[in-house]
Amino acid sequence: MAHTLPLELQQHIFSYLDPRAFYASRSVCSWWNAASRDRTTLARQLRKLPVDPAVCAKTTPEAQLQQLYQKAAHTSMLGLRITHSEKDSKTLSQRLNAPKIAVSADGTRSATLNARTITLHDLTRPDTPALTSRPINDLRTAAGGGPWFKCAPTSVYELALSQNGRLLAIALERTIQVYDLSDTSEDAWPVAAYIPSASGHYIAGLSFSHNDSLLRVELSNKGTVVYLGTPAGGEVDLEHWGSKKGLKHAFADSSKITLAAPGERLVGLQVLKEMDNGYLFAAQRHAPAGPPNSYVLGLLKVSTVHNHLSAAETRATVLVDLAISHPRKQELANTDDTWRVLPSGREQHPRFASNADGTLLAFSEAKVTTDVVGSSNVFVYRVPGSETLKRLSEEKRREQEEETALDNAVTESVQGDKEEVKHTVHRLPLHVGEIKGRVLGFGLQDNRAKGCEVTITTELAEKQWTLLDA
């Protein structure tokens, strides 16, 4: 039947398809695939994709059109299939009945704080039995070394549970205490410290990272993030946090990190993994004027300070710019809903996760809502893999040494003859879904049989999305 349809009519039908439907139509049969390769058809579809400047069928060589479309379709994840599953069980808030909850990274343990009592629960069993419990070290107890917490409603505290469920960090205002929940002896006091970086503000979020040797501290100061501790190879214990390389050492402070452009700052910084004598990070980039906010992948170099402790340098290198709006947003308004939901790029406490080879970056962004429960949108970017990022890092290093500018350092360009227009493919995220509640756990893992799995846990729900390339 496809062969009986005139080519002109087939291409006219293509003009009504959105980018995702057009990409899928190319796999219907060989005739549809051949018809989709028409210069005018491809140029029309490329104008719907985040490609800048707009593509002209008359002036762009056919080979470049084909190459540009393949690159844009891959970057825009037009062939990505998303399936969703949700655990059909009681929520954590119902099972644990506590105002403050922290969950370990492996999802097997949970710590609660209720009526000045810390309790460790086993989440592998439906009845979530209590494993250990102990009182919080506040002014009513005032045991061991200070600083102690002031007596306050438990909803004000912030909690973070280590990957193995052994260490619990609790923050109130500008003070952090770390407990060893495996030590049940009477003189098992936590280590504690007042955080100077939080002066004038308060701690708004906590999470462990890097084998529990770093503690990510979110401050109320416009998305400022401070990493406390020192990266370690193996598992750490309470001694690590009580030493000079623990709570008293600031490994990275986003408020002190500068970018190449003056006035730009990093918001919601999250260190992802080691790379090229430093650490790969994801964050929002906010500029006082000029281009709109965006998400970025960058590199933090690490140096050794005078007391032999490693710390991130104050200059960061942006490797990849991740857009949050279509370059022809107004032109395509009300004609295409492929990117109907996009990130706001504001200070909504983003959480990031990447897969093993670094080709996908997932993140959650809290929605602006009057609902006291709150909710978050989940997105995913297609990003360069680890090897490409290392190459970009090397290019940036050479650029700084030679004091020159490489135009293609943070964008993808299709190179042609000198007379040809260079088109840039902007990276836009796909909206994966939405979840209610405060985010407790967030991860992105490879699954050979299913693809990549995005898992997110809140007090009210636990959802999983499977991402599979068609």
Per-residue pLDDT at 1 exceeds 70? no
Q: Calculate mean pLDDT across residues 145-167.
A: 87
Is the pLDDT score of 407 beyond 50?
A: no
Average pLDDT of span 370-393:
88
Encode pLDDT of 5-46 as tens digits.
Answer: 787 888 888 888 889 999 998 888 888 888 888 888 999 999
Q: Of 72, 67, 59, 62, nearest to 420 (Cα)?
A: 59
Band the pLDDT of 339: cuts 50, 70, 90: confident
User: Is the pLDDT confidence value at 426 over 80?
Assistant: yes
Q: How confident is the model at residue 414 (pLDDT cuts 50, 70, 90)?
A: very low
Say if residue 200 is exposed, middle or buried (CB neighbours under 10 Å; 0-12, 13-18, 19+): exposed
Q: Measure the CA–CA gap between 192 and 205, rounded to whole angstroms.
A: 17
What's the confidence (pLDDT) of residue 291? 64
Q: How many CB atoms lie within 10 A of CB 334?
A: 5
**332 band by pLDDT with thresholds 50, 70 and 90:** low
The mean pLDDT value of the chain amounts to: 87
pLDDT of 329 > 90? The answer is no
| Cα 199 off chain centre by | 27
Q: In what order do the strands lie in the sheet with 51-52?
A: 51-52, 423-425, 412-414
pTM: 0.90
pLDDT confidence of residue 10: 83
Consecutive H or E run containing 362: strand 360-366
Q: How far is it, in rounded angstroms, from Cα 172 to Cα 150?
A: 8
Please provide the CATH number assigned to the domain covering 2-84: 1.20.1280
Query: What single-letter DSSP state applies at residue 190?
Result: P
- pLDDT at position 416 is 42
Name the residue ranges covered by the structural domains of the chain.
2-84, 86-256
* Residue 265: strand pairing partners: 286
Q: Above 90 in pLDDT, residue 370?
A: no
* Whole-angstrom distance, CA of residue 469 vs CA of residue 451: 8
Q: Report whether pLDDT(200) > 80.
A: yes
DSSP symbol at 138: B
Higher model confidence: residue 206 or residue 418?
Answer: 206
Tell me the C-alpha distance between 25 and 83, whole Å: 20
